[in-house]
Amino acid sequence: MFCKLLSYTLKGIEPLKVQVEIDINNGLTAFDIVGLPDSSVRESKERVRSSIKNSEYRFPMNRITINLAPANVKKEGALYDLPIAVGILCSTGIASISKLENHLFFGELALDGSLRSFKQLFPIICSLNQKSEFEIFKFIVPTEAEPQLTCLNNPNILYANSLSDVVNYLNSKIELPNSIYNYINNNVPDYPDFAEIKGQLHAKNAMIVAACGHHNILLIGPPGSGKTLLAKSFPALFPPLTSAESIQLTQIYSLADLLSTSELVTQRPIRSPHHTITPQALAGGGASPKPGEISLAHKGILFLDELLEFNKKTLEILRQPLESKKIDISRAQHTVSYPSDFLLIASTNPCPCGYYPNLKRCVCSPNKVKQYLNKLSGPLLDRIDIHIETEPLTIKSLNSADSLSTKEMLHSVEIGIERQKHRFQADRFNESISTSEISTYCKLTSSGQLLLENWFERPHSSASPTMRSYHKILKLSRTIADLCDSDLIDEQHIAKAIQYRSLDQIL
The predicted-structure confidence for 411-436, as pLDDT tens digits, reads as follows 999 999 999 999 998 888 999 999 89
* pLDDT exceeds 80 at position 186: no
Hey, what long-range contacts does 431-434 have (CB within 8 A, 24 or more apart)? 431/213, 431/214, 431/215, 431/216, 431/385, 431/475, 431/479, 432/214, 433/475, 433/478
Contact 271, 296 (CB under 8 A): yes
pLDDT of residue 466: 81
Lowest mean pLDDT, pick from 30-39, 46-55, 318-327, 464-473: 464-473
Question: 2-170 has which fold?
Answer: Ribosomal Protein S5; domain 2 (3.30.230)
The helix/strand/coil state of 497 is: helix
The helix/strand/coil state of 370 is: helix
Mean pLDDT for the stretch of residues 334-338: 84
Average pLDDT, the chain: 88
Q: How far apart, in whole angstroms, are the C-alpha atoms of residue 368 and residue 362?
A: 11
Q: How far apart, in whole angstroms, are the C-alpha atoms of residue 419 and residue 207?
A: 18
Kindly report the CATH class assigned to 433-507: mainly alpha
Taken as a whole, the chain contains a residue count of 507
Q: How far apart, in whole angstroms, are the C-alpha atoms of residue 228 and residue 230?
A: 5
Using alpha carbons, list the distances in angstroms from residue 436 to 144, 439, 492.
48, 7, 24
Question: Helices (H) and strands (E) in the chain — how many of each?
Answer: 22, 18
* pLDDT exceeds 70 at position 34: yes
Ordered by start, the domain boundaries in the chain are 2-170, 194-239+266-401, 433-507
pLDDT of residue 32: 92
Q: How far apart, in whole angstroms, are the C-alpha atoms of residue 292 and residue 12?
A: 12
Tens digits of per-residue pLDDT, 284-334?
887 778 899 999 999 999 999 999 999 989 999 999 999 999 998 887 667
The helix/strand/coil state of 284 is: strand
Contact 285, 329 (CB under 8 A): yes
* pLDDT exceeds 60 at position 9: yes
The helix/strand/coil state of 377 is: coil
pLDDT band, very low/low/confident/very high, at 200 (cuts 50, 70, 90) = confident
Q: What share of the chain is helix, strand, coil (3-state, %, to 5)?
A: 40, 20, 40
Mean pLDDT for the stretch of residues 44-71: 93
Name which residue leads in pLDDT, 29 or 84. Answer: 84
Using alpha carbons, list the distances in angstroms from residue 340 to 62, 242, 293, 318, 327.
50, 17, 9, 10, 6
pLDDT band, very low/low/confident/very high, at 399 (cuts 50, 70, 90) = low
Mean pLDDT for the stretch of residues 209-221: 94
* Closest to 8 (Cα-Cα) out of 127, 183, 162: 127
Beta strand spans in 207-323 (E): 217-220, 270-271, 284-285, 290-291, 301-304
pLDDT band, very low/low/confident/very high, at 87 (cuts 50, 70, 90) = very high
Question: 194-239+266-401 has which fold?
Answer: Rossmann fold (3.40.50)
pLDDT of residue 168: 94
* Closest to 91 (Cα-Cα) out of 113, 62, 50: 62
pLDDT band, very low/low/confident/very high, at 98 (cuts 50, 70, 90) = confident
Contact 160, 177 (CB under 8 A): no
SS (H, E, C) 88-122: HHHHCCCCCCCCCCCEEECCEECCCCEEECCCCHH
Buried b / exposed e over 361-371, threshold 16 CB at 10 Å, is: ebebeeeebee
Tens digits of per-residue pLDDT, 216-241?
999 998 888 888 899 999 999 988 88
